[in-house]
Structure 1
Amino acid sequence: MKTILVPSLLGVAAFILHAFALEDLSVPIVSVWPPGPEIFVGESVFLYCRMASNLSFAWTYLWYRHTSHAASTPNHRHSLYGDSYSITAVTKEDAGSYWCKAEQQESNLTSKAQVVLRVSEEAPPSLTLTPNTRQIFKGDNFSVQCPTSPKGWELKQLSPVHPNITTVDQRTPCPPPGGAVCPETSSNWSFEATSESSGLFWCEGVGGRSNSVNITVNYGNMLLRTPALPVHLGDEVVLFCQYRTERQKQATFFRDGMDIGTFNFFSSDGAVTLTIGGVKITDEGSYKCSSPDRKMESPESWLSVSPDRGSWKWFAVSSTIVLLCLIPLIVWIIHSRSQQMVCSRSCWPLTKGDVPSVPLPETKQDVTEVQWDLSWMEMTSLMDKQMYPGT
C-alpha cells in the first residue's frame, strides 16, 4: 500500500504544480501595430493576442470592447480574425479599452488581457501609395513612397498571418561614413503583388513614423479600388470596379449593402468607374461592386471622409486676426461707457432749468430793442424823428 500511495501522492502534487504553472504562464499579451503611444486618425491598426507561454494547446480568442464581457459592436471598419483585431480608417470614437479573452477547453483555462488605444488627431508624415488603393490583384505592381526626410526612412511591413515586423529593405545608414551630408531624398519601394505582399505598411525614421495603410492582395475575379487614405470634404473621388480577366462595360455599386446603381462608364484601364463629386460625410461607408447578373462580386472596401484640415486652419487664423483687430475697439467702447457712468452732472453744461431765476434791472427800451418788432418802414420813420426832431 505504501509503495502505491507514495507515487499517487507524487502524481497529485505534480498535477497541482502543473496546473499552477499553466495558470501562471497562460497570460495573454495584446500588442498594437504600428507601435507607438498613439495611433492616428485615418490610418489602419492591427491588434494581436497571443499567449505568453509556449504551450501547445489550442486556444480560442474572443474580443471585447470597453469592458471585459460586452461583445464588440458590429462595425464595417472593425474586423475579427481569431487572434487578430483590425481597424480600418481609425476615428476618434475608436479610442478606448480593448479586451482579449483566451480560452482552452481541454485544460479549462480562461484568461484575458486589456490594451488601451489613444487616438491623435495630429497629422503624421504621410506615405504615398501608387495606385492609391487598399486592394490589388495578385501579380499587379504597386509602390510605397516614404515622406521626404533628411534622415531617411525604413519601410516596415506587418504580415496578417505572422505578426512580426519585417524591414522591407535596408538602406544606407544616414549619415554615411566619412561625415558626408545626407541628401533629402524620398525612399520608394516597388512590389509585384504576391501572397506575401498583404499586410500593414508604414515608414519609420529617427523622428517617429508615418501613417499606416493596410494592403490586401486579391485572388478573386473582381475588386473595388477606393482611396487608401482619407479624402477631404468637397473632393472629387473616383471608385474603380475592376474585372480580372473579362472586360465588362457595366457594374453595379453598393454602399453599406444598398444598391446605388449600375454604371457603364468605361475607363482606359478596363474598370467601370463611379465618380462622387463634392464628397460629403454621408458618402463615407463600405463600398463594393458586382457584375450586373450578381455572379461576380468584389470584397468590401472602406471610403473614409475627413474634414479639410487646411480649411480649418485658415478659418482659425482668419478668426484670430479679426479678433485682434476688434479688441482695441471693444476696449475703447468699454472705457468710454465707464467714463460716462463715473462723470457727475457737473461735467455737463448747465441747462436753462438749472440757472437760478434773478430779476434783471429795468432799463429804458432802446430803439434797437424795438426795431426787431417793427417793419422796415416803421423803423426808418422812428429813427428819423429821433435824429431830426420836428420832422
Structure 2
Amino acid sequence: MRELTPLCWQLLLLSTLVYCSLGQGGASLSVSPDRSQFFEYESVSLSCEVQGNSAGWRVVRNTERGNLSECNTDWGKLKGSSCIMSLIPSDSGVYWCESGSGKHSNAVNITVPAGAVILESPALPVTKGDSVTLRCRYQGTPSDLTADFYKDGSLIRNATTGEMTIPAVSKSDEGLYKCTNSSSEGESPESWMTVTGDRVEEE
C-alpha cells in the first residue's frame, strides 16, 4: 500500500470533515485573511461563527504530523472569540470548529511552506459567478514577477503581473492550483479551490 503524501492526507481529512458536517450546520470557520498559504511568521485569525449560542465551540486542528489539539493549548492565542496565530511551518494542517457535543464546522487547509513562494488563493469556498484573483507572492524582493499558474498539474496562464483573475468562476474552475516563477524563487505548494452554489442576485 502506497504511503499518502502530506497533501493527499490533508485532502482526505478535509473531504471527510466536509462530508461528516453535512446537515449538522450551526457553525462555520472564518479565516482572515481569506487564503490557505502563508509565509512563516505571518498572522492569521480563525473564528467560529455560530448561529445562536457560541459557548462550547473551539478552534481545533490536525497537523501533518497527526497531532490533534485546540487553540490556546500549545498553539495560538485566544482573543475574544478568535484564535490568533503567528505561523510557522509546523502549523500546516487542517483547521475547523468543534463543539463539546462533537458537532463541527467546515474545515480549512492551511499551509506554511519553508520555500520562498506562496499562492494566494481563497481558503474558504468561492461562490459560482464571483470574480476570484490568484496571486503568486515571493518572500523578499523578486527579480521577476512573471508567474506561471497551474491547475491540476497543467499550465493555464502566464502572467507578467504575478496574478491571474477568473472573472466569473464556475464548477469547472474547482481544483488544485499552484504557481511557479521563471527565476530562482521556485514554486508554491498546491492549494485546493472549492466552487459552490449560485450567487444571490440583489433585486
Q: Same fold (TM over 0.5)?
A: yes
Shift of 1:288: 1.1
Gaps of 5+ in 1: 1-61, 64-78, 96-116, 171-184, 266-271, 312-391
Given candidates 170, 180, 189, the residue that maps to 1:299 is 189
Distance 2:163 2:185 in 1: 19
- Identify which of structures 1 and 2 has the higher relative contact order when contacts are C-alpha pairs closer than 8 Å and 6+ apart: 2
**Residue identity (%):** 32
- Contact 2:21 2:104 (C-alpha < 8 Å) held by counterparts: no
- Contact 1:145 1:189 (C-alpha < 8 Å) held by counterparts: yes
Equivalences for residues 133-144 of structure 1 within 5 A: 133-144=35-46
Equivalences for residues 115-154 of structure 1 within 5 A: 119=20, 121-122=22-23, 124=25, 125-148=27-50, 149-152=52-55, 153-154=57-58
Gaps of 5+ in 2: 74-78
Q: How many residues align structurally?
A: 189
Residue 159 of structure 2 corresponds to 263
Residue 10 of structure 2 corresponds to 86
Shift of 1:192: 0.6
Shift of 1:260: 1.9
Counterpart residue identity of residue 205, structure 1: S
Shift of 1:86: 3.2
After superposition, the Cα gap between the structure-2 partners of 1:118 and 1:142, relative to the gap in structure 1 and judged at 3 Å, is: closer
Distance 2:19 2:196 in 1: 18
Shift of 1:291: 1.0
Distance 2:184 2:153 in 1: 13
After superposition, the Cα gap between the structure-2 partners of 1:151 and 1:254, relative to the gap in structure 1 and judged at 3 Å, is: closer
After superposition, the Cα gap between the structure-2 partners of 1:231 and 1:186, relative to the gap in structure 1 and judged at 3 Å, is: farther
Residue 190 of structure 1 corresponds to 84
**Larger proportion of helix:** 1
- Contact 2:21 2:105 (C-alpha < 8 Å) held by counterparts: no
* RMSD value, Cα: 3.1
Counterpart residue identity of residue 141, structure 1: S
Distance 2:199 2:130 in 1: 13
Does residue 169 of the first structure (1) align with residue 65 of the second (2)?
A: no
Does residue 249 of the first structure (1) align with residue 145 of the second (2)?
A: yes
**Larger proportion of strand:** 2
Q: Based on CA coordinates, which of the two structures has the bigger radius of gyration?
A: 1
Distance 1:239 1:301 in 2: 11
- Contact 1:263 1:273 (C-alpha < 8 Å) held by counterparts: yes
After superposition, the Cα gap between the structure-2 partners of 1:186 and 1:154, relative to the gap in structure 1 and judged at 3 Å, is: same
Any idea what the Cα deviations from partners look like across 1:280-309, whole Å, max 9, x if unmatched? 112112111111347611122111112238
Residue 76 of structure 2 corresponds to none
Shift of 1:154: 1.6
Does residue 160 of the first structure (1) align with residue 64 of the second (2)?
A: yes
Distance 1:81 1:277 in 2: 33
Any idea what the Cα deviations from partners look like across 1:251-286, whole Å, max 9, x if unmatched? 111122222222133xxxxxx221111111121121
Which SS does the other structure have where 2:172 is aligned? helix
After superposition, the Cα gap between the structure-2 partners of 1:123 and 1:287, relative to the gap in structure 1 and judged at 3 Å, is: farther
